[in-house]
Amino acid sequence: MNNWVVLLVIGALIFPAMVIAVQPPKWSAMNNYDQAREKELMERAADWRNGPVVYQIIVDRFVPSKKLDSKKALYSSPRRLRGWSETPKQGKYLERDGVWSHEVDFWGGDLASLKTKLDYLQELGIDVVYLNPVFASLTNHKYDAWDYHKVDPVYGSRADLADLAKELHRRNLRLVLDGVFNHMGKRSPMFEEARRNSRSRWHKFFKFDEKQPRGYIGWADVENLPELNLENPEVQKFIYSEPDSVVQSYLRNEGIDGWRLDVAFDLGFRYLTDLTRAVHAAKPGSLVIGEIWNYPEEWHPAVDGVMNMHGRKLLLTMLEGRLSGPLCSQMWETSIDDAGMNHILKSWLVLDNHDTPRLANLLPEVWQQRMARALQFTLPGAVCLYYGSELGMTGGDDPEQRAPMRWDLVSPENEMLELHRKLLDMRHKEPALRYGDFRRLHSEKLFAFIRRTISVRDTVVVLANPTAQPVKELLQLRESKFQDVSKICDLLSAASFTVYSGTVDVELPAHSVMVLKVDTADYPNGYNRYDRIF
């Protein structure tokens, strides 16, 4: 009998301990998880490289200079100075210079004139100004550098560039330059000397090859673009690895905030990694973006982010009717999972730029353009706007898409500009759109996803119907903090829907997009007990 008593006493002691051991985590453990999540989001929010709005500018084409009379000698043959109202046209090949005549047509913009329009950019809501190359060179596009350490005189000087960076920083904006470090220009003094003298220090800077018709390797076989020999340690020192190198000097001296690397896919992982480390060492928190048209996986940390041309391709194909909305969203989800959210958030989502036709030419229907922009502003990553696209500027293949900025289109009557103003305002007000997570929503017809932080007050539901028919669907919301019978309201229209049991019945007209947020005004007070406000 005494043995039974002993067993009962032992059981009374052990059984509660077993019960406790299999209990779910207490609130303290859950709070630890929330704190870790909150810390991650705070780090994302503090990093300007996550989800900014980037505005791309070709300096020559943005604002006409007020000093053209004193600068006319800088546009001597083969350069030609055009009138601001002229449209770029395809020219003829200039054998002596190895360029097309439209590559040496100029419109007269410079760094000083660009500064006069910073109010416009700031009021628009731009975070980062990205300039196409500014190095001394022959052409208007300047991807054929003559001297990396010199700003082309048609644009100004390095002092002018430093002044621009200083003024942007005063306005809490950033400056990113275009780095062209795979090749230089045929008429660069460095290349000309290297070609004449095999004992010159510059000779091993380039890829001379007697088997080539021209005796050297040009990028994409372009005569005017002799490739640099990045395998040469002296080239690495000159370009990025020394404190006085090209890459580091502009960060240290002019105060720029990062580099966009031209044809980064050709530089390869090793040199990109070394260059990115040099950039970060010269200026902690600076940015390296690679022009990489490939699938975005594995390019981080060789670069901080890519120009997300893969995401662009998916969106354009869907809007052309050649890819369904659900499959497009599934592909986006896969690419984010493969590349990692922190890489995608720093990548630039581009719809059009100097290498592509303008969006208005790519997608001629207004609904296509509006949906493309709405998705660009709500998907993960930085928004990269090409100058004038917010105005609905048109332009076909090179050189038409590089036409001068249409300042005459800046008007409250311009519906495309007003759409961009609304999207830019929304982007700045909604934290989840800048640095929140991405979750795809299951749908049979829609491109559907949510962006979220740890607070439902930030959660944004994005629904796009690219089909020619209205869509009615029940969607699973995948957000545990949506209260039952709460309203989610479209930020772009007056539409709203009601949440029931973590689902919502939605109805979208043909060719429409909605950006929905929950109305938490009538949520009970106790809601704050589990909704951590970030």
Cα–Cα distance list, 500 to 388, 427, 446, 462, 485 (Å): 43, 28, 20, 18, 6
Residue tagged active-site, from 262, 266, 390, 490? 262
Residue tagged active-site, from 144, 160, 254, 291? 291
Q: How far apart are CA 171 and CA 257, in angstroms?
A: 14
Give the model confidence (pLDDT) of 439-498 as tens digits: 999 999 999 999 999 888 899 999 999 999 999 999 999 999 898 999 999 999 999 999
pLDDT reported for residue 180 = 98
Question: Is the pLDDT confidence value at 27 over 80?
Answer: no
Give the model confidence (pLDDT) of 415-430 as tens digits: 999 999 999 999 999 9
3-state secondary structure of 306: strand
- Transcribe 24-80 into DSSP letters: PPPHHHHHHHHHHHHHHHHHHHH-TTSS-EEEEE-HHHHSB-TTHHHHGGGG-TT-E
Question: Is the pLDDT confidence value at 73 over 60?
Answer: yes
H or E element, residue 508: strand 503-508
> Could you tell me what percentage of the chain is helix, strand and coil, using 3-state DSSP and rounding each to the nearest 5?
40, 20, 40
Average pLDDT of the residues of the chain: 93
- Say how many Å lie between the first and final Cα of the chain, rounded: 61
Instruction: Report which of residues 522 and 346 the model is more confident about.
Output: 346
Mean pLDDT of the region 188-207: 97
Strand partners, 252: none
State the pLDDT confidence band at 21, using cuts at 50, 70 and 90. very low
pLDDT reported for residue 10 = 47
Q: Is 291 a catalytic residue?
A: yes
Q: How far apart are CA 314 and CA 524, in angstroms?
A: 41
Give the model confidence (pLDDT) of 173-182 as tens digits: 999 999 999 9
pLDDT reported for residue 520 = 76
- pLDDT > 70: percent of the chain: 91
